[in-house]
Structure 1
Amino acid sequence: MTCDYGTPSLVWKDWKEEKTSPQSDHQSSPQSQKDDIFVTLERWTASQGADTMPDMDINVVDLELMMHWCNSAHEVLARNEATAWIWRQLVPQEAFSHRFLLWGILSVSALHLSCFKAEQHQSIYLKKAAFHQSRALALFRETLESVGSQNGKAVFAFSSLVAVYAFGSLYNQETSDPIQDIYQILVLIRGTNQIVARVRQNLLESDFAPLLQLDEYSNEIPADMRAALSRLHALNNSLQEGPESHKAYRDAIDDLEEMFVLFYGGATSMTPSGKWAIRLSPLYLEYLQERRAFSLVVLAHYCVLLHCLRQHWCIAPWATRVSKAIWNVLDIRGRESIQWAMDRIFE
């Protein structure tokens, strides 16, 4: 089950004509220090009323949320029927032994279910999502002090849920700085992957192994997409910012092309969006936090990948939000470099 988000509220060609020059008031400065990877989530959940949930009917609502998870919400993480079965059956079973995973499931389920509720009832489920996520994060932090075979599956599953929550928790909110938000999500995904790496071998020897055994995909991407990526490489070659910078950008572009190959080869799950984040170099992320122009140009092309994956409720709004924000901060030359991406997203 997916939400129907319709078409972008602004037709790209009409919107583009209104934006004739960069807007300095959209150029907010990046954070001066790097947050703990979960601090941003805690800030978001607090803003959504995580501390104001009443205790009444809590069990009834939670039963509804678990049923919704098993019926449909789990599908956002499934690549095929084998992995769908694990998320639908084995992950909830694991959650009964690990409270942070249980709360993580209920949180994502509430977030998803809010998409289908009438406007006057959405806030109840959004607050429920924030309430469970806040509790889950607090307990998860304690768990990270002793990660091992006894909790490895729960740690992996919750880390995946965190990525879904991060993308999905801002669906109903118009944020003031989409570039900073997507940056935080990329950092969060990379951070959770480092946690998962600690239990990877145990998972490969468990019934969760199919979740890590990615299928091989091979397919041709559209000619215009291949040409756009070639132009990115040419731009990178012209920058002459030094070998380290050149490699950081080159790898980000090469990995983005691989993600498009995955998508056009049949990988329509969320996997490509997260896999690109995992592979990003710390140097590219540093440039992105500094808002270097070419890092934003590459990010705009990543937005095309998000646009391809917009059938997933948690990803749906991000391509248009982030690409518009990038357009607003780039100069004329930078805008010319992302013209293809904007046309693709707003076609």
Structure 2
Amino acid sequence: MIVHRTDPYNAEPPPGALVGQVTPLDTFYGRNHGPIPRMDAASWRLRVDGLVDRALQLSMGELERRFPEREVVATLQCAGNRRADLLEFRDIPGQEPWGPGATSTASWSGVGLADVLAEAGLQAEAAHIAFTGTDVSQEADPPQAFGASISAAKATSGEVILAWAMNGQALPVAHGAPLRVVVPGWIGARSVKWIQRVTAQVEPSDNYFQTVYKVLPPEADPAKADPGEGIILGPVALNCGILRPDRGAQLPSGPTEVIGYAFAGEDRTVARVDVSSNGGSTWVQADLDAPESAWTWQHWRTILTLPAGERELIARAWDSTAAVQPESPATVWNPKGYANNSWARLHVTCHP
């Protein structure tokens, strides 16, 4: 793993480790804002409250007995994925230099959030569902538990689950055990780990981490920005990354296989990926895998014939709405370094 920080732990796998459709547990990226909590599963309870007819207190055993088990294969992607490319354009102080590996895919098993909310009797005026974890972060002032919210419409869709298993194994503590939220198609920050409370409410969560994950205008100072300024992040922007060859690789000239991933959040899919080795003068359409599910990335691959010398490989994706990634990091740079979905670029050197 490429460790960006040990306390709290933040790490991503090397790009080449993400070639498979499903990411192994020990390779799945980790994004944390505070120490990893360890809870006693026997005494742990999930509280469901707010705008519901019946507030619930559910043990893990009750969740397993009272609700049907559901499974979803879904890609999670950090809002800071590929921030390193923005840092090359302009500095972003205090932010982790994530490469293209702050994204991973797993098969998640648990119970449907919609089923739990139905049992509680979700009231009509509830427009947002807020989540509160048990991990406390010093980034907030005063320190507070990590939290987030999603729209009630998303929360009651069938794909959002409260997961206790990952890739057919018990959910690791590092990834949110005993229970975490998985919100397919939305930024990873909304898939709250170590969940302890689900609250139905009229307004979005006022948790620090709900409001900090937003794209501010380039001229804004994050420390002084108005709470209402910026675009709150939810669904993942269309994105792609190059996984092989390695960045800075020394390669023989001639045919070279180029492999990557592409991902379009919410209910969009990737329709096409183009790859270039001559600055975009000409493009080759890559072979594109079908998604594992409606909520996963898609891998792509192509063969490029590379001459000797320095080369920049470029990839851009199109989604099912015909949207295409923007060309330059300069067009999407923002002072928190979120949602970089500019063309993926990778430099290599080819020898005769």
TM-score (norm 1): 0.27
Name the structure where helix makes up a greater proportion of residues.
1
Name the structure where strand makes up a greater proportion of residues.
2
Q: Which has the higher contact order (CA 8 A, sep 6+)?
A: 1
TM-score (norm 2): 0.27
